[in-house]
């Protein structure tokens, strides 16, 4: 998968402070929105491609389709492109994570040292046939957009929990957590996945007492077990408390705060936990409501995901789906790759996305990033393997900036030395992981990485040293 296209796209955040953060109207991607023609398509015009949804998957698919010379229309109900990721998700949350980290550093550490032709229709689209989408526009009108190929790219929504009603005041989703008017004294996070731990880190740095309630036995279950244990210890060291194997039975918002009734997941005595604000982050669910998929016969699974083949085609010819509405990782960058590959197929080219090689990143501090298989997955497959590890404490750059918590871990096939998985806990792990993503894409060995000259002093040297530890021995421990 070529990374050049991704490198050319970047998000731009205007200056904003930590306490009055969410002026989301100021967020724009660096490509010019004026290049999107804002005229409405009439019913007599037929597009080559119509995309319902302007999030990371949808807008990237629209740009790629236009680049390939296809007449394209993108329909977006929000009135601002970028979807959840840009407007109330990935980009603002990462900016807030960075801002809160800088605030924390200033308070605790600094004393120790510083264009594309796409028709853009604003409105809510729904199918009236496999080749027609009716759009209720933001201006109050209606228009019909016709297309030879229609792509559903409507993304996902917050997953609700029984007995818990999100009001975005006392009980908030990740969207509401970005817009709290004041710092809660006690914040309870329901769900120990990516989003919950990231937002918990933000408010913990700003002074909130954070308690994470998780039904399962582990935080971030997709993470390598050894890395997960170190990661949890790191979060606990920063004051985050965890109640694992714990179920939320209900919430009471009648008083000034919130009272949660809890019990062990396996059953047992009930307890009450009090909070000022509760963040519900138990995952996300495909957003397909109101699209009238049933009207045209599009099949979905029990989880509400649209079923597609390897070319992203649904069971209805001419109707495609990408991103969070189909099986696979619910990640913005996966949706982008889906969008490019899907449009390439439509244009008669060949597209491909390998879901086993999509990197995942938890944007806390330190970050955790990984790609490929965990040690537990490799062991379950019965593969003979070797593990190489290198601690950040032995990395000169990490020590020089006094930020040396974490490690790099590589899992490789014992016989062939082929890299099976790479797991990094480090500052900027999300940047360090891509060398390994490329290595996995090309079936590289750990020796391949170890024999590449890495600049000194850099944190990426820890990846090289871990690779050396996998097939032979590291130098600096």
Query: Is-catalytic flag, 456?
Result: yes
> What are the mean pLDDT values of the chain's consecutive 10-residue runs (477 residues total)?
33 34 32 36 74 90 94 84 50 55 51 68 95 94 96 93 90 91 96 94 95 97 97 97 97 94 96 97 92 96 95 98 96 95 96 95 96 98 98 96 96 98 97 98 97 96 98 93
Question: Considering Cα of 139, then 144, then 150, then 155, what sign does the dihedral take?
Answer: positive
The helix-helix angle for 225-237 and 194-205 (nearest 10°) equals 20
Catalytic position from the list 108, 352, 456, 476: 456
Angstrom distance (rounded) from CA 142 to CA 451: 61
Residue 352: count of CB within 10 angstroms of its CB: 11
171 within 8 A of 253, measured Cβ to Cβ: yes
- Residue 171's closest CA among 280, 246, 249? 280
421 within 8 A of 378, measured Cβ to Cβ: yes
pLDDT confidence of residue 162: 87
Annotated binding residues for FAD, written as ranges, equal 94, 125, 154-156, 324, 330-333
Q: Cα 295 to the chain's mean position, in Å?
A: 31
Entry pTM:
0.82
Angstrom distance (rounded) from CA 352 to CA 257: 49
Count Cβ atoms within 10 A of the Cβ of residue 140 and give its class: 0-12 exposed, 13-18 middle, 19 or more buried.
Answer: exposed
Annotated binding residues for NAD(+), written as ranges, equal 191-198, 214, 283
Angstrom distance (rounded) from CA 281 to CA 158: 7
* Count of helices and strands (H, E) across the chain: 14, 24
Which single residue is written with the structure tokens 């199918």?
A: 127
Q: Cα 353 to the chain's mean position, in Å?
A: 16
């Amino acid at each position: 998968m070529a990374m050049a296209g991704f490198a050319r796209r970047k998000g731009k955040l205007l200056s904003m402070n930590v306490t009055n953060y969410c002026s989301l109207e100021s967020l724009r991607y660096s490509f010019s929105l004026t290049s999107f023609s804002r005229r409405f398509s009439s019913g007599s015009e037929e597009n080559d491609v119509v995309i319902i949804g302007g999030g990371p998957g949808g807008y990237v698919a629209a740009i790629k389709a236009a680049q390939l010379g296809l007449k394209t229309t993108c329909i977006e109900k929000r009135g601002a492109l970028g979807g959840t990721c840009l407007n109330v998700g990935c980009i603002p949350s990462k900016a807030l994570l960075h801002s809160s980290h800088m605030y924390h550093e200033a308070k605790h550490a600094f004393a120790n040292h510083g264009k594309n032709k796409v028709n853009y229709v604003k409105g809510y689209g729904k199918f009236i046939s496999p080749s027609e989408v009716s759009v209720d526009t933001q201006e109050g009108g209606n228009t019909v957009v016709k297309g030879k190929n229609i792509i559903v790219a409507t993304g996902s929504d917050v997953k609700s929990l029984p007995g818990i009603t999100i009001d975005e005041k006392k009980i908030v989703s990740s969207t509401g957590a970005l817009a709290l008017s004041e710092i809660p004294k006690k914040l309870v996070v329901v769900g120990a996945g990516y989003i919950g731990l990231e937002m918990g880190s933000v408010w913990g740095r700003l002074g909130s007492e954070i308690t994470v309630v998780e039904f399962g036995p582990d935080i971030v279950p997709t993470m390598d077990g050894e890395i997960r244990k170190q990661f949890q210890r790191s979060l606990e060291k920063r004051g985050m408390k965890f109640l694992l194997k714990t179920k939320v039975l209900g919430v009471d918002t009648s008083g000034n705060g919130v009272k949660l009734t809890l019990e062990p997941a396996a059953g047992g005595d009930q307890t009450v936990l009090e909070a000022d604000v509760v963040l519900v982050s138990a995952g996300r669910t495909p957003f397909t409501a109101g699209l009238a998929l049933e009207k045209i016969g599009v099949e979905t699974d029990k989880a509400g995901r649209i079923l597609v083949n390897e070319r992203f085609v649904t069971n209805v010819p001419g109707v495609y789906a990408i991103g969070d509405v189909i099986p696979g990782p619910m990640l913005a960058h996966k949706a982008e790759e889906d969008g490019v590959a899907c449009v390439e197929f439509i244009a008669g080219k060949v597209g491909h996305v390998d879901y086993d090689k999509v990197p995942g990143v938890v944007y806390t501090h330190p970050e955790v990033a990984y790609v490929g298989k965990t040690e537990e997955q490799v062991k379950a497959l019965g593969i003979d393997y070797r593990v190489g590890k290198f601690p950040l404490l032995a990395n000169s750059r990490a020590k020089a900036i006094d930020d040396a918590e974490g490690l790099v871990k590589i899992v490789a096939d014992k016989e062939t030395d082929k890299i099976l998985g790479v797991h990094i806990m480090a500052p900027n792990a999300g940047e360090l992981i891509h060398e390994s993503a490329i290595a996995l894409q090309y079936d590289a060995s750990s020796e391949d990485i170890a024999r590449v000259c890495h600049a000194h002093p850099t944190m990426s040297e820890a990846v090289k040293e871990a690779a050396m530890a996998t097939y032979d021995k590291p130098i600096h421990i």
